[in-house]
Amino acid sequence: MSLENLLASARSWIADDPDAATRAELEAVVARAEGGDDVAAADLADRFAAFLEFGTAGLRGALGAGPNRMNRVVVLRAAAGLTRYLQDSLARRDVTVVIGFDARHNSDVFAADTAAVVTAAGGRALILPRPLPTPVLAFAIRHLGADAGVMVTASHNPPQDNGYKVYLGDGSQIVPPSDVEIAAAIDTFPTAASVARAEDGWETLTDELAADYVAACAAAVGAPAAELSIVHTALHGVGSATLLEAFEAAGYARPRPVASQEQPDPEFPTVAFPNPEEPGAIDAALELARETSPDLVIASDPDADRCAVAVPDPKAATDADPQGWRMLRGDEVGALLGHRALGLITTGAATGADGGPGVVANSIVSSRLLGTMARAAGVPHEETLTGFKWIARVRDIAYGYEEALGYCTAPAVARDKDGISAALAVAELAAGLKADGRTPVDLLDDLARKHGVHASDSFSIRVSDLALMPALMGRLREQPATQIGNVVVAAFHDLAKGDGGLPPTDGLRYLLADGTRVIVRPSGTEPKVKVYLEAIVHVDGDDLAGARTQAAERLAATRAAMEALTAL
């Protein structure tokens, strides 16, 4: 687009934008671009490159003015499109939408705009009373009998981002073709001016809703088998108060919060990237753990739908860290909670969400260990596409997880990943182990001896130009590797073609002759391509250390080869 056309588009946007702050922001960029500032012209080009795409993850992007940013114009159009989709698909005007929001910049504004749009269109809008975790919104949809839910959050993205996550009436996130149909409905509202907004008329829910969620989480676990001490960090998100209340309601000691990260703060001042998976994110929690020697460290991501766990491991002890604190990988927590779930299912203490005996599930990029454990226990297991929008839809699910720290341990509470109920489930498991003089590390060792060492790793290729993502995937498809790390590729699946028995998705899967698995897929929410690795080595006798060494060597060789193959 020429600079002249960009300036014209920007002026039209300014005239339509109801927000004074983003109008002023864009006016300043326009003025600099008109004055010959090349940086400002490039900024304009990026802001108007396209409309922020609505997909199965809803919307997510940097805050700012323009169609390629998160702002009130984009949210008003999205709310109008969602409401029209619901009214058309349900064949009635009086649709009910429950709306939640976190503590990020403008989350409350976007939530109020959504309520105003739903109300003006003849629907009923119910808005949560304050910034609350995403799983509270997921719970509220079915608890209140709503037709859909909207959560305004960017989860663990950087501070400059925000997002708009959409759920339908079954309490799970949207999947195709709903995303395409909602996007088409959004397109029927080309401007903010084309969207009607009510001045009032929506309902703000009371704290009774949050209390009902806390009670449901508490009811999903048993009483602690032993006294347990826990350090918790909310990473400046909205999870602290709700998690502490849930622990108390379930009869567990309230975790000790990391004071510097306990209160919501949209700037996330003490972490470079508010994702507990990122190096350094839980350093403050680990520092407090070294001072206080708890049994566990639990970290919530900013909207508290994910749960990270760190444990003391004597094998990792050093002079500076005599307890040997280490963060468990998502697949390790997935296996621990899977062990818990399989025990509940096989004893009849837990059933599936749809009334049957129960199924366990995990995403395709997660470890194959849960499937092996389920087969040994005689419990059905399903593998799904990546994302809880797919895991939560497994019929009769009793437990599901994905390696990116997402766990559904109580599908009757929230049919989505839920970092609050997952934290309680981790505590219940750890307390039971402690009563027997054992630890989560001991249980992981037992699972490895029985089912083999399942060692996993992952890395990401971040891009500044989104066009590099399809280019990389295309290159890997056109030149499929026949060997990776000097090991023959026994099978290559192009997941976009539906290879491997799953619905088509953009991804590649390599199965190597030694049992190692590699999956490459572009992220649906961030500008990066992710590579997932898993090596399996069976334990010979009791030589667990030897099996782990062998698995680590396989992973290292595979990772080095894949880093070379995916280099930009």
CATH number of 172's domain = 3.40.120.10
Distance CA 207, CA 210 (A): 5
Residue where the block lists tokens 């009769």: 396
Check whether residue 44 and residue 59 sit in a common domain.
no
Check whether residue 299 and residue 413 sit in a common domain.
yes
Question: What one-character-per-residue DSSP string does 496-532 give?
Answer: GGTTTSS---S-EEEEETTS-EEEEEE-SSSSEEEEE
Please indicate, yes or no, if residue 200 is contained in any of the structural domains: no
* pLDDT tens readout for residues 374-398: 999 999 999 999 999 999 999 999 9
> Residue 531 is part of a domain; what is its CATH number?
3.30.310.50
Distance CA 559, CA 550 (A): 14
The pLDDT value recorded for residue 499 is: 82
Residue at a domain's end among 451, 469, 485: 451
Check whether residue 428 and residue 496 sit in a common domain.
no
Question: Domains in the chain: how many in total?
Answer: 4
Please indicate, yes or no, if residue 197 is contained in any of the structural domains: no
Check whether residue 330 and residue 475 sit in a common domain.
no
Check whether residue 173 and residue 292 sit in a common domain.
no
Check whether residue 227 and residue 305 sit in a common domain.
yes
Please indicate, yes or no, if residue 199 is contained in any of the structural domains: no
516 within 8 A of 487, measured Cβ to Cβ: yes
Distance CA 300, CA 232 (A): 8
Residue from 107, 155, 363, 367 carrying the catalytic annotation: 155
The pLDDT value recorded for residue 464 is: 85
The pLDDT value recorded for residue 501 is: 78
Please indicate, yes or no, if residue 198 is contained in any of the structural domains: no
Check whether residue 403 and residue 511 sit in a common domain.
no
Residue at a domain's end among 396, 428, 451: 451
Question: What one-character-per-residue DSSP string does 119-144 give?
Answer: HHTT-EEEE-SS---HHHHHHHHHHT
Q: Is 409 exposed, middle or buried (0-12, 13-18, 19+ CB in 10 A)?
A: buried
Check whether residue 426 and residue 546 sit in a common domain.
no
194 is catalytic: no
The encoded tokens of residue 274 equal: 């508010």
Check whether residue 559 and residue 491 sit in a common domain.
yes
Residue at a domain's end among 49, 68, 83: 49
The pLDDT value recorded for residue 57 is: 82
Check whether residue 402 and residue 492 sit in a common domain.
no
Please indicate, yes or no, if residue 296 is contained in any of the structural domains: yes
What residues of the chain score a pLDDT lower than 50? none
C-alpha 425 chain-centroid distance? 18
Please indicate, yes or no, if residue 201 is contained in any of the structural domains: no
> For residue 551, what are the domain limits?
452-566
Q: What does DSSP assign to residue 252?
A: P
Check whether residue 250 and residue 138 sit in a common domain.
no
For the entire predicted model, the pTM comes to 0.96
Check whether residue 102 and residue 243 sit in a common domain.
no
